């Protein structure tokens, strides 16, 4: 048997079980793309059929995903019904990109994904109109009490006399002059604001991440603190993403800062609201009514949870985003993002990569114990970390801030580099120097530099 082949087999056994680096090397000739928590791929298939094999899993957890998908899938599509923690992500051996079919991505650990070399993308624009329309529908429903009037009619209450009308429609409020407070003025928040103004709402918002001047272009009033917005709003609607900093943004403390008898609407993320505190506030009358499309525990059931006995509650099953058109568009956009990942350069060619910053900061190579690798394999310190020995960053790349991102190509002495916007990993010249050719993407010349193992 060829001795090089023997050495390669020995090296493979040593490195067995180590997750390979996810980098911009050549993909398999026919990469596998899997829809994790669904079964209909009729929209995605025409877009991906010439570049990938598409499969579905219809799983609610990674325990239900087939071993072939865990071992071979390069791309993953997913809705909001499955959660991928770091432990789940580590089960995938070849995954390079995850596309969330929708705007929210709190069901994916994006930082851990980046550390594992997996890009995470979302589709933020396809359901903006639907979510904004549903939000306004909930707001009008709370003010005009349509749901409760319909329920009274179904129960046989004709409300023919003035006293009966007053009893059934009690709590209905005139909209003009009311103050609508929006928390988070992103795409949906802006769409809600523009829809609410013609009804006569005075629209205010709180968003510490929005640049100055946006309020002027939209004709809205910006509020400097969350507390001030809560104090001045007759109806509050949430349109911010969920993260570790705003979990239970609406809690017992913030509810006490609200105007007595205000309305609350949430079509963003269920974790933004402490449902126990909300239920208590509804029973005490501190909040007059609430409309929720998202919940802390989904799928939602009135028979369980703290809201089962709370009055003046409207709940819908996380469908504010849905229309037939929006569903198809979001799936098409997700498939196109997967296609860009397969045919292009991750993450540069991705349109909506939400963990790009983490990807650029994360290590590009797996952590391998040097003692576990035999020094004589392939005639060098195989699969060790290497850095360029160079005095000037401009010798490597014409960009002043770059970091070589490498993957092994053909042999451990041949590395391919691409530029990234990170500080250069340049070290002073030391022992154990290994000659190596460096191919530089984006630079005019191909130069030979010396390489040395990183400590």
385 is catalytic: no
298 is catalytic: yes
Which residue out of 167, 284, 298, 441 is catalytically annotated?
Answer: 298
329 is catalytic: no
Which residue out of 100, 145, 239, 269 is catalytically annotated?
Answer: 269
Query: Helix/strand/coil (H, E, C) string of the chain?
Result: CCHHHHHHHHHHHHCCCCCCCCCCCCCCCCCEEEECCCCCCCCCHHHHCCCCEEEECCCCCHHHCCHHHHHHEEEEEECCCCCECHHHHCCCCCCCEEEECCCCCCCECHHHHHHCCCEEEECCCCCHHHHHHHHHHHHHHHHHCHHHHHHHHHCCCCCCCHHHHHHHCCCCCCCCCCEEEEECCCHHHHHHHHHHHHHCCEEEEECCCCCCCHHHHHCCEECCCHHHHHHHCCEEEECCCCCCCCCCCECHHHHHCCCCCEEEEECCCHHHECHHHHHHHHHHCCEEEEEECCCCCCCCCCCCCHHHHCCCEEECCCCCCCCHHHHHHHHHHHHHHHHHHHHCCCCCCCCCECCHHHHHHCCCCCCCCHHHCCCCHHHCCCCCCEEEECCCHHHHCCCCCCCCCCEEECEEEEEEECCCCCCCCCECCCCCCEEEEEEECCCCCCEEEEEEECC
Which residue out of 96, 239, 286, 318 is catalytically annotated?
Answer: 318
Q: Which residues are known catalytic residues?
A: 269, 298, 318
């Amino acid at each position: 048997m060829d001795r090089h082949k023997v050495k390669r087999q020995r090296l493979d056994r040593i490195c067995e079980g180590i997750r390979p680096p996810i980098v911009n090397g050549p993909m398999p000739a026919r990469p596998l793309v899997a829809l994790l928590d669904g079964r209909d791929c009729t929209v995605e298939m025409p877009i991906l059929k010439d570049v990938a094999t598409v499969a579905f899993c219809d799983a609610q957890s990674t325990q239900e995903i087939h071993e072939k998908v865990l071992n071979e899938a390069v791309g993953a599509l997913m809705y909001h019904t499955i959660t991928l923690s770091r432990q789940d992500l580590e089960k995938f051996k070849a995954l390079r990109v995850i596309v969330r079919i929708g705007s929210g991505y709190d069901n994916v650990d994006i930082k851990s994904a980046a550390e594992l070399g997996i890009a995470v993308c979302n589709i933020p624009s396809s359901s903006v109109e639907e979510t904004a329309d549903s939000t306004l529908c909930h707001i009008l429903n709370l003010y005009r009490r349509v749901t409760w009037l319909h329920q009274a009619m179904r129960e046989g209450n004709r409300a023919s006399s003035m006293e009966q009308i007053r009893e059934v429609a009690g709590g209905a409020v005139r909209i003009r002059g009311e103050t609508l407070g929006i928390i988070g003025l992103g795409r949906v928040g802006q769409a809600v604001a523009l829809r609410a103004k013609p009804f006569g709402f005075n629209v205010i918002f709180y968003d510490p991440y929005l640049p100055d001047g946006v309020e002027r272009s939209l004709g809205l009033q910006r509020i400097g603190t969350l507390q001030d917005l809560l104090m001045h709003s007759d109806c509050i609607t949430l349109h911010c993403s969920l993260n570790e900093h705003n979990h239970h943004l609406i809690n017992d403390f913030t509810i006490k800062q609200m105007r007595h008898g205000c309305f609350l609407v949430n079509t963003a993320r269920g974790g933004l609201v402490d449902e126990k505190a909300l239920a208590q506030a509804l029973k005490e009358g501190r909040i007059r009514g609430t409309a929720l499309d998202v919940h802390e525990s989904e799928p939602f059931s009135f028979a369980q949870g703290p809201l089962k006995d709370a009055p003046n509650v409207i709940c819908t099953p996380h469908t504010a985003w849905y229309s037939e058109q929006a569903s198809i568009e979001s799936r098409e956009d997700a498939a196109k993002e997967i296609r860009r990942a397969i045919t292009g350069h991750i993450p540069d060619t991705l349109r909506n990569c939400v963990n790009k910053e983490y990807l650029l900061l994360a290590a590009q190579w797996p952590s391998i114990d040097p003692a576990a690798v035999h020094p004589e394999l392939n005639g060098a310190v195989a699969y060790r970390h290497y850095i360029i020995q160079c005095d000037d960053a401009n010798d490597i790349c014409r960009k002043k801030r770059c970091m070589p991102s490498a993957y092994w190509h053909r042999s451990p002495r041949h590395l391919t580099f691409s530029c990234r916007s990170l500080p250069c990993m340049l070290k002073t010249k030391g022992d154990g120097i290994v000659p190596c050719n460096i191919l530089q993407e984006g630079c005019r010349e191909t130069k030979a530099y010396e390489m040395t193992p990183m400590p």
